[in-house]
Structure 1
C-alpha cells in the first residue's frame, strides 16, 4: 500500500504552529470568531487541513485558502470530494485519507468510510476486536452501522461503514450552530445513548467529532466504539475497576479524574452536557479548557478549569466523591464558580436547564438519556 502519510511525517511542528497562528490572525481579522475562541477555531481548521489533505501542497493550499478567502455562504464546501486518484485498500479503490486516531486511520472510498487499524497490539482501552463485536450487536437508527469487516493487503483489520460527510465538530468549527440543528443532533445523540445504556454499554468517548451527520441538517449518528465498555465483552475491566484514561480533553467526566473506577453511564451524560453547552454558545465554545490527553498536566488543567467554571465541589454537592481513591475536597484553593446564566447569557432557557441537569458533579443526579429526551428542550423537537 502506498505510504500516503509520508508528507505528514516530514511536516515540522513549528510549521503547523505557524499555520495555526496565521489562521488565528485571519479569523480574528474577519470577525469569524471572538478573540478568546479564535485560537481554537484556527487549531480546528489546521487539523482538518492536515487530516484531509493528500499532499503537503494540498495542505498548504487548504490553509492558504482559509486565510485568503471569505468563508463560504452555503454548505457545499463540506461535501466536496478530495482531489487526486487515492489509494487502494483491499478491494476498495480510490481511498482518500480523512482522519487519524491513536490506533487507526480513516479513509473515504465512494460511499463508504474505511477504519484501518494501524496498531497490531491492543492499546487499552482501545480494542478493535471488542469494537467489532459490540458494533455487530447494535441496531439503532442513531448509531453508525458496521457494514462489514475485511483485511487489507497488509493484513490489517478494516471496518467498513457508510460514509458521512460531516461531524458536529466540523459544524462547530464553521461558526454558530443553529438551534434547530442543535436540537436534532442532541435528540439523536440521546436516543443512541438511551439504547446503549439500556444494554449496559458505556460509550466513553462522547464528543463532537464522534457525532456524524449525513447532511448539514442531519440526521446524526454516534460513532467510534473503540473504547466502549461492555458488561460481558470487557473481560479485563470488571465493573468496579474500569480504566480511568477514557474520554477526550474537555469532555472527560470529573469522576474519572479523581479515581472512581466504578463510574457508570453518567460519564456519557456529562460529556453530552458539555457538548450542548458548547453548541448553544455564540460563537461555539466549550465551557471547560483542556490540553490534549497526551500532554503533561492535561488532567490538572481540566480539573482547575472545571472548578473555576462551576465551582469547587464540597462533600454536600458531591457526596459520592467521599469514597473516591483521590477525593477532590480540601483543595488548596476554593473557587466559587459561575451560574449557567452567567456562563451562557444568550442561550435558550430550556437548553440551560438541560445543561444544568447534566453537567453536575454527582453522577447519580445527572439526567439519564431517557430523561434528557423527555426534557422540554428536546421534547418539543419538530
Structure 2
C-alpha cells in the first residue's frame, strides 16, 4: 500500500490509542474472548480503517464509529474489560494455568498471552528449573515475555536500545531485564524477559480508588527511578500510568517500557538538538514538544510524572489534560491553556524559540488555581503537582527535588 500524505501526520501514539480503545470495547462486548483475540481483532479493524481512509478526520471518525458500535453490542456476561471482578486472574507462581491456550517461547513452556501493544505482545510464563548458570531469576517464579515485532517498529522505537538501557540503568525501581533472545522468527522478533507484574497503575486507576499510602508509595518509586535515569542524562519519554507496574496493590512500583528511551551516548539515539517530538502518550505530552522543540531534556519526564501524580492523588482515571476523543494535539494544547492559562512570553520565555509558536492565535484563557484543578487533592499533593506541571521547562522541579517535598513526609509515608 502506497503511503498517503496524511499518514505522516498521524503519530504512533494516536494509532496505539485507537487500538487500545477498540481492544477494550471488543473485549467488553465479548467477555469470553481471549485477550489475544481481542487484540488481533482490534489491530485488524484499525488497519482496515487506516488503509481505507482518505484523511485524518475520516480515520478518526471511522475509529470512533467502530468504538461506538462495539459499545452498543449486547454483552454475554456482566464483567469489566478482561478482569472478572475488576482485577486480572493471578495464578500463583510455580503453578500452571493449563496447556490450553499456551505456547512455547524459547525455553519457556506454557506461555500464556497477557496483554499487548502495537509492536509487541506480553506473555506470562514461569522460569524453568534447568536455568543456565548465572541466570538472575529463581526457578518457578513468574516472568513476563515481551515479544517485540521488529519489522513493525520505527523510530523512536528501538527494542535493541531498550535492552541496552535496561542493562545499563539497573535500579531497584526500574523493571529488571532477566534476559533477552531472538524470537521464533529471529529476523522479525526479539523477546525481553522481566519479572511478571500483574498490575499497572492504569488498571488500578480504573478501579476508582487508591489508598493514600499506596499512592504515595507508587509516586515515590517512580520519582526514585526518574531521579536515577536523569542523573545519567537518560529520558524515558513515555511516563504514563500504563508503564508503572506493581506486583501487589501496596507496591512497590516499577518504571517499565523503555522502547522509546533517549540515551545520550547510545548509537541509535537522535542528536541532542534533533530529538523526535512524536514521543509520549497523548495527555502526558508536555507543551514544548507540542510546539516542536527538538532540544527537550529530562524535564519532559517531569511534566508527565506531574500529570500522573495528579491522577494518583485524586484517584482519578481522567487525565489532568484532555486530548479529546481523536487524540488531537490542538485539543490537548487547548486543554492545557484552559487549565494553566494561555501563556505569554513572560510566563513561558522559551516559547519564543519554539518552531510552532505563534502559528495559531489562541483564545486567552485565565489560569485556574490548583485547588480548582485538583479539588480532591491534599495541599501537599497540589503543591507537588504544581512544581512539576509548569510551562517553562527549566522551572520544573527535578525528580530528586520532588522526593524532598512535604507530600512524601506526611504521616504514614
Give the C-alpha shift of residue 224 in structure 1: 0.4
CA distance in 2, matches of 1:252, 1:114: 28
1:17 equivalent in alignment to 2:31: no
Query: Which region of structure 1 is more displaced relative to structure 2, 178-187 or 229-238?
Result: 229-238
Equivalent residue for 2:333?
303
Q: Normalised by the size of structure 1, how large is the TM-score?
A: 0.81
Give the C-alpha shift of residue 167 in structure 1: 0.4
Give the C-alpha shift of residue 308 in structure 1: 1.3
Equivalent residue for 1:280?
313
CA contact (8 A) 1:146 1:160 kept: yes
Equivalent residue for 2:150?
119
Q: Which runs of 5+ in 2 are unaligned?
A: 1-33, 46-62, 92-96, 127-141
Query: Which region of structure 1 is more displaced relative to structure 2, 92-101 or 78-87?
Result: 78-87
Equivalent residue for 1:80?
90
User: C-alpha deviations, 1:108-161, integer Å up to 9, x for none?
Assistant: 113000111113264100001111111111121100000001122222210000
Q: Which runs of 5+ in 1 are unaligned?
A: 24-59
Q: What is the correspondence of 1:128-167 to structure 2 with a 5 Å cutoff?
A: 128-155=159-186, 156-167=189-200
1:200 equivalent in alignment to 2:233: yes
CA contact (8 A) 1:243 1:261 kept: yes
Equivalent residue for 1:351?
381
CA distance in 2, matches of 1:254, 1:190: 21
Give the C-alpha shift of residue 209 in structure 1: 0.5
User: C-alpha deviations, 1:8-58, integer Å up to 9, x for none?
Assistant: 5446676753444579xxxxxxxxxxxxxxxxxxxxxxxxxxxxxxxxxxx
Equivalent residue for 2:79?
65
Equivalent residue for 2:252?
219
Give the C-alpha shift of residue 93 in structure 1: 1.7
Give the C-alpha shift of residue 94 in structure 1: 1.7
User: C-alpha deviations, 1:341-366, integer Å up to 9, x for none?
Assistant: 11111210000001111111001101
Size of the aligned set, in residue pairs, is 335
User: C-alpha deviations, 1:328-351, integer Å up to 9, x for none?
Assistant: 587331111311111111210000
CA distance in 2, matches of 1:70, 1:146: 30
CA contact (8 A) 1:315 1:329 kept: no
CA distance in 2, matches of 1:140, 1:288: 30
Equivalent residue for 1:249?
282
Give the C-alpha shift of residue 236 in structure 1: 4.9
User: C-alpha deviations, 1:165-188, integer Å up to 9, x for none?
Assistant: 100111000012121111100100
Equivalent residue for 2:19?
none
Q: Normalised by the size of structure 2, how large is the TM-score?
A: 0.75
CA contact (8 A) 1:279 1:285 kept: no
